[in-house]
A and B are shown apart, each in its own frame.
Chain A
C-alpha cells in the first residue's frame, strides 16, 4: 500500500543508469531510475517495448549490472541481501528443467539452498503446489503440461522458499488471453496469501491496474520514469472489479500516459 512506502523503504533504486556498448556507439537503456518500494508493495512497470523495464528487473536480480547507480534492499547492497535469501524470479518463458518432474522442479530451490530435511522440503513443495492448484500433476514432466500449467509451476517454484522479493518479467506474456486472465486472478489470490514485495513487468494495462499498488510508467529510449500512478482500489480485489468505474478510470489514465509520448516521441 502507498502508505507503507513513506515509512521505511524496503527496496531503493538510486540513480540507475544502464547503457550497452554497441559497435556503432552506446545504447542508453535506462536513465536515472530513482524509486522507493515499500515492504509488501506490488509495483508494476509498464511502457513500450525497449523502455528497459526487463533490464531494470534483471539489474535488481543481479543478472545485469547497472552502469551507474545503486540497488539497496533493507539498507544493504543487493548482493549482500540476496546471499541471505534469494529473490524469486518468474520469466516470460517458464524456464522449467524439462528433465525434472513438476514436483522436482518445485523442490529444486530447496534442494539447492539445502533448506531443512528432505521430508520437510517435500511438504513445503506440496503446499505451494496446492497453492497454485496443481495438485495431482506432481509426477508429470514439463513437456506434458499446458502453457498455463507450466507458468503456474514456475510461480510455485519461485514461492517455495518464501522469498521476500518476487520479480516477475512479463510472466503471462506468452499465454493466450483466457489463460492470462485466469492466472492474473490467481496471482491476486496467491499474493494475498504470501507476504512478499513484487516487481512486475507487463504489457497489459488491465493486468497492471488489477494487481498493483502503484504503476511506474516508463519512457522509451532511454527508459526514464515518466510518472508513478498510485492505484487506490480497495483490496482484496477480484475479477469483478474489472468493470467498475474506478478501475476503468485508472486504465484510461494509464493509457493516456503511455500513448501521450507517441506524438513527440
Chain B
C-alpha cells in the first residue's frame, strides 16, 4: 500500500467508523426498544428489503437517474450558453436575468404538477424539473467566472492587443471552470431531487413513484429502501462530477474545494 493510499484510508477512516457506529446503534436501539418496523425499521431489515425488491427498486432508480442526468445536462448547458450570451450582450443580460431570478423563486413542487399536465407522464416533465432546479446556480457562477478575471490579467492581455475572442479562449473560459464545477457539485443533487419531485405529481416509473406508493401504504421499510437507493444514486452522480472536475481542473490552485 503506497503512502497516498494509506493517506486516503486514514483520512476517510473517521467517516467510515462513524457511519458504521450509527448503523450498529440504530440496529441495537430498534431491537432493544422493540420499535415496530412500520415506525422505524432496523438497517438490517432495510438492506434485506433492498435485496428482495432489487429488480423493482433498481429499475425505478435507474429511470430517475436517467431523467436527473438528462435534466442536469440540459439545465447546465442552457445556463452556460446563457452566461456566454450575457458576456457579449449586457442588454440581453439586463432583460433576461430578472426572469432567471423569477424562475429561481418559483417552488419546484408547485411547477412540477403543471409540467406534468403539459408534458405528460413520461420522462419529459422530470427532465424539465431537474433542468430548472440546476439552472440558476450555474448561470450565476459561470457568468461571474467569465467576467471576473484578475484586473492585471485583463490589463496584460489588453496591452498585447488581444481580441475579445482571444481573451475568452486563453483566460475567461479557464477562469469560469472552477466556478462551473463548484455549481455542478451542488446542482447534481438538486437535479435528482427535482426528478423525484416530478415523479410525485404523476409518473408511471421512477423511485419517486415507489416513494409515493410506499407512503400511501405506510410501508416504512420500503420508504427507507427507496431513500437509501436514491441517496446512493445521488452520491454516484456527485462522484462522477468530482471525477470530471479532477480532469478539467488540471492546474494547481484551481479547485474550489467542497
Contact = CB atoms under 8 A, between A and B. Distances in A.
Interface stretch (B59-67, B85-93, B160-168, B190-198): B160-168
A22 interface: no
B150 interface: yes
Residue of B155, B158, B159, B253 with highest tally of chain A CB at under 10 A: B159
B252 interface: yes
Given A143-B251, A143-B253, A95 B153 contact: yes
Chain A interface size, as a band, is 20 to 34
B152 interface: yes
Interface of B: 150, 152-153, 155-162, 166, 170-171, 174, 177, 250-254
Given A83-B161, A144-B252, A112 B152 contact: no
Interface in A96-145: 97-100, 108-109, 111-113, 141, 143-144
Contact of A82 (B153, B161, B174, B177): B161
A77 B242 CA distance: 52
Nearest to B149: A97
20 contacts: A61-B155, A62-B158, A63-B158, A63-B159, A83-B161, A86-B160, A86-B161, A89-B159, A93-B152, A95-B152, A97-B170, A97-B171, A97-B174, A98-B252, A98-B253, A99-B177, A99-B250, A100-B251, A112-B160, A112-B161
Given A108-B170, A112-B161, A112-B166, A99 B156 contact: no
A128 to B, nearest CB: 15
Contacts of B155: 61, 63, 89, 91, 95
B160 to A, nearest CB: 5
A87 B251 CA distance: 29
Given A97-B170, A113-B161, A141-B251, 12 more contacts: A82-B161, A86-B159, A91-B152, A95-B155, A98-B253, A100-B251, A108-B170, A111-B170, A112-B161, A141-B252, A143-B251, A143-B252
Given A86-B160, A109-B160, A112-B157, A99 B174 contact: yes
Contacts of B158: 62-63
Contacts, number: 60
Contacts of B252: 98, 141, 143-144
A86 B162 CA distance: 10
Residue of B152, B160, B253 with highest tally of chain A CB at under 10 A: B160
Contact of A95 (B150, B161, B251): B150
Contacts of B177: 99
A91 B156 contact: yes
Residue of B156, B158, B253 with highest tally of chain A CB at under 10 A: B156
Closest 7 CB pairs of A and B: A143-B252, A95-B152, A99-B174, A143-B253, A99-B251, A141-B251, A91-B152
A177 B251 CA distance: 29
